[in-house]
Structure 1
């Protein structure tokens, strides 16, 4: 069974196991949103001077403020976001999560809030110039992300090196243990801007949309988040956040 199918099966099982108890409050009706993220993916979410920050963090805080709610954050590895959401460990997951058909089978997503995609990051002096040059090379990817199955399906000659954290991928490229890292566009460009010696290949592997994940039994929360997203786009808050985090691209 492919990993993504196994994830879907496990998540469906969890969904039945953790059905909302009669009379239990829906997240949309409470004053606090329990939100999970993997804060290791700058500029989307990361920690700086001990504080959680990034585009997704600012966006979620702005949405919650518009909804009249407080945010209580939970930090978790990316691969645990969907299972943890279904298991009712938190109400919302926002962590540069691509909206995919497989994930949409087990959770609901808000409207897309930002466009991204998979890109390849290499050292500045790497002989790799095009995506075709990845074949036969060692490429680091983060466990639980789309990069794993995408390379398996579309670049079978790539030698995947799977790691737990985004930073580990970059470090392996930096020390020459892998020839490239395949990751989300925002994180790759952020690293190339802030750490000398790296560049991003011009051609993207994919174009994706990021969405905020909620449980399928919380349509009210999904709709409330969509409404708040429309409001912050209308009042200029969203544009200000995009400028803050991505204007140098």
Structure 2
């Protein structure tokens, strides 16, 4: 309970800070949806050849099209997504955000658009074989993600190394400054596919649901997003995007 209260206080404090900053979002035309993401989490969202891409980007573009809206993107660090949303810097946040009780205290979420979970990534020759082997080890995690509190609450013997970007977690494992990285399953498997010498432990730490975050005072927007999500699932667009990023057997 204490951590939940602290989370809410931090979000509200940062929201007030963001609201006072120049450049806080002003009202846009009704045909424009302001969407924030942290494009450093492949395959969910990342940049390639200077262009924003990824599963979440394709999903959000398809949802916006179904709503008859254009998107104005904002790039922001993950830890600033929910405070920035509360402070009206943008309308929506999509960035591999797990639906959690703590976050649901301060923002609303759409229905889940994809199932994920936390996993541990290690070097291929690491002696770490099971989750129990993480005890007493150095584990890198990204600031502001569920990995931080999950390890604190469930693996108190782990020494957490908290970094700003997802890539930094993997880099620390690669150079031996961390024994493992705990992150979302899609990002971990994407990294293993593209970088030899690493593996993901077989057992997942958690099973989670990704959601699109909206402000609590905009239930109409949440409902419109849900309706558009249902529409792209019904017409086959959603399945095509899932299979594009996760393979023909993905669901």
Q: Same fold (TM over 0.5)?
A: yes
Q: Which secondary structure state, in structure 1, belongs to the residue aligned with residue 96 of structure 2?
A: coil
Residues 1:150 and 1:58: Cα distance change in structure 2 (over 3 Å): same
Q: Which residue of 2 aligns with 1:68?
A: 68
Partners of 2:234 and 2:3 lie apart in 1 by 40
Residues 1:105 and 1:26: Cα distance change in structure 2 (over 3 Å): farther
Tell me the matched-pair count. Answer: 242
Q: Contact 1:26–1:218 at 8 Å: present in 2 too? A: no
Partners of 1:75 and 1:2 lie apart in 2 by 30
Give how far 1:106 is off: 0.3
Q: Which secondary structure state, in structure 1, belongs to the residue aligned with residue 39 of structure 2?
A: coil
Give how far 1:14 is off: 7.0
Partners of 1:3 and 1:39 lie apart in 2 by 27
Root-mean-square deviation (CA), in Å?
A: 2.0
| Residues 56-95 of structure 1, C-alpha deviations (whole Å, 9 max, x = no match) | 0000000000000000000000000000000000000000
Q: Which secondary structure state, in structure 1, belongs to the residue aligned with residue 199 of structure 2?
A: strand
Q: Which residue of 2 aligns with 1:21?
A: none
Q: Which residue of 2 aligns with 1:151?
A: 151
Q: Contact 1:123–1:199 at 8 Å: present in 2 too? A: yes
Q: Which secondary structure state, in structure 1, belongs to the residue aligned with residue 157 of structure 2?
A: coil
Partners of 1:173 and 1:2 lie apart in 2 by 31
1:4-83 map, 5 Å: 4-12=4-12, 30-83=30-83
1:1-249 map, 5 Å: 4-12=4-12, 30-247=30-247
Partners of 2:196 and 2:108 lie apart in 1 by 39
Q: Contact 2:138–2:158 at 8 Å: present in 1 too? A: yes
Residues 1:75 and 1:123: Cα distance change in structure 2 (over 3 Å): same
Partners of 2:124 and 2:144 lie apart in 1 by 27
Q: Where in structure 2 are there 5+ consecutive unaligned residues? A: 20-25
Give how far 1:16 is off: 8.8
